[in-house]
């Protein structure tokens, strides 16, 4: 049986984390492939495997859907990092880890490796893992929060504007740049470094993530309009490019049977 619950974000991390989840997965509970939807966010993941091993990983922004065979994950802790905060928190340009999964130790060095070892010692106590990881991240925030704060704030404001719909259309990148007081080129450069993808690609992923929950219950014409597409055919074309299947196939559960 798969299970997941959202946990409260500690006050010290509210500007740095969108959400925290604690989950577990059983490979035999669902014959369908495991779907990883596109996500512009960077996520810190700690997980265990059925053979008792654990890993502390950084999952970079995901620009396309991925489909994999399910496997037993007794414990999976996910800290989803707020848009614009990952570069400061992780100490690397996020575009270097886009569509990649890397051990935190590769970014934090011995500190990340030691933290992974400490969490491994708490593997039988999932809530203790969450608390210990939150405390480590809070300490990291205290050490780096003054670094790049102006850029992080600019990127946060830009991402909110790019995600918003006004009259069933999303603002253009040049409009958002003017709104936050920088040139379009400057916004594109700092956004890509801080988020891992350019602003236009961020908008494409935001649209897809808007569409996914309504595929089975809302007309596609309405979905396309609400998400800011030109029309339904525009939505279908981008959906197929990013999700690797058509909207009708995805809604019916006809998913790729091999990793992609």
How much is the CA Rg of the chain, to the nearest whole Å?
A: 19
Q: In 3-state terms, what secondary structure has residue 214? A: helix
Number of neighbours of residue 36 by Cβ within 10 angstroms: 13
pLDDT one-digit tens code per residue, 37-83:
999 999 999 999 989 899 999 999 999 999 988 788 899 999 999 99
Question: How high is the pLDDT of residue 27?
Answer: 75
Pairing of strands 73-81, 3-7: unpaired
Max Cα separation, the chain?
A: 53
Q: Is 56 exposed, middle or buried (0-12, 13-18, 19+ CB in 10 A)?
A: buried
* Residues facing residue 66 across a β-bridge: 36
pLDDT one-digit tens code per residue, 163-222:
887 556 678 899 999 999 999 999 999 999 999 999 999 999 999 999 999 998 889 899
Q: For residues 226 and 189, which has the higher predicted lDDT (pLDDT)?
A: 189
Contact residues for 178 (Cβ-Cβ < 8 A; gap 6+): none
Structural element, H or E, at residue 18: strand 17-25
Confidence of residue 33 (pLDDT cuts 50, 70, 90): confident
pLDDT one-digit tens code per residue, 99-148:
999 999 999 999 999 999 999 999 999 999 999 999 999 999 999 987 77
Question: How high is the pLDDT of residue 30?
Answer: 60
Torsion of CA 200, 204, 206, 211, to 10 degrees: 160
Joined together, the tokens standing for residue 55 give: 């890993």
Joined together, the tokens standing for residue 152 give: 């992080």
Please choose, from the candidates 130, 12, 10, 136, the residue with its C-alpha nearest in 3D space to the C-alpha of residue 78: 130
Question: How high is the pLDDT of residue 29?
Answer: 57
- What is the arithmetic mean of pLDDT over 219-238? 92
- What is the arithmetic mean of pLDDT over 232-257? 93
Question: How high is the pLDDT of residue 25?
Answer: 85
Q: Is 72 exposed, middle or buried (0-12, 13-18, 19+ CB in 10 A)?
A: middle
State how far the Cα of 38 lies from the Cα of 59, in Å rounded to an integer. Answer: 12
Q: Write down how long the chain is.
A: 260
State how far the Cα of 143 lies from the Cα of 165, in Å rounded to an integer. Answer: 36
Question: How high is the pLDDT of residue 191?
Answer: 97
Please provide residue 88's backbone torsions phi and psi, each rounded to the nearest 5 degrees.
Answer: -65, -45
- The residue whose two tokens read 């958002």 is 176
């Amino acid at each position: 049986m798969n299970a997941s619950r959202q946990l409260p974000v500690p006050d010290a991390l509210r500007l740095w984390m969108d959400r925290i989840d604690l989950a577990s997965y059983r490979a035999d509970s669902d014959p369908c492939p495991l779907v990883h939807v596109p996500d512009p966010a960077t996520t810190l993941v700690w997980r265990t495997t059925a053979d008792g091993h654990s890993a502390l990983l950084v999952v970079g922004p995901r620009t396309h859907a991925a489909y994999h065979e399910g496997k037993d994950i007794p414990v999976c802790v996910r800290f989803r990092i707020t848009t614009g905060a990952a570069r400061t928190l992780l100490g690397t340009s996020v575009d270097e880890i886009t569509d990649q999964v890397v051990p935190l130790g590769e970014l934090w060095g011995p500190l990340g490796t030691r933290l992974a070892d400490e969490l491994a010692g708490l593997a039988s106590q999932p809530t203790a893992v969450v608390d210990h990881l939150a405390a480590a991240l809070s300490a990291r925030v205290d050490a780096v929060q003054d670094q790049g704060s102006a850029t992080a704030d600019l990127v946060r404001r830009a991402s909110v504007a790019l995600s918003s719909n006004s009259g069933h259309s999303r603002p253009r990148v040049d409009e958002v740049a003017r709104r936050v007081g920088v040139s379009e080129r400057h916004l594109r450069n700092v956004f890509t470094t801080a988020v891992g993808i350019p602003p236009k690609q961020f908008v494409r992923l935001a649209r897809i993530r808007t569409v996914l929950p309504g595929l089975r219950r809302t007309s596609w014409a309405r979905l396309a309009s609400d998400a800011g597409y030109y029309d339904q055919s525009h939505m279908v074309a981008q959906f197929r490019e990013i999700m690797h299947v058509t909207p009708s196939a995805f809604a019916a559960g006809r998913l790729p049977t091999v990793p992609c």
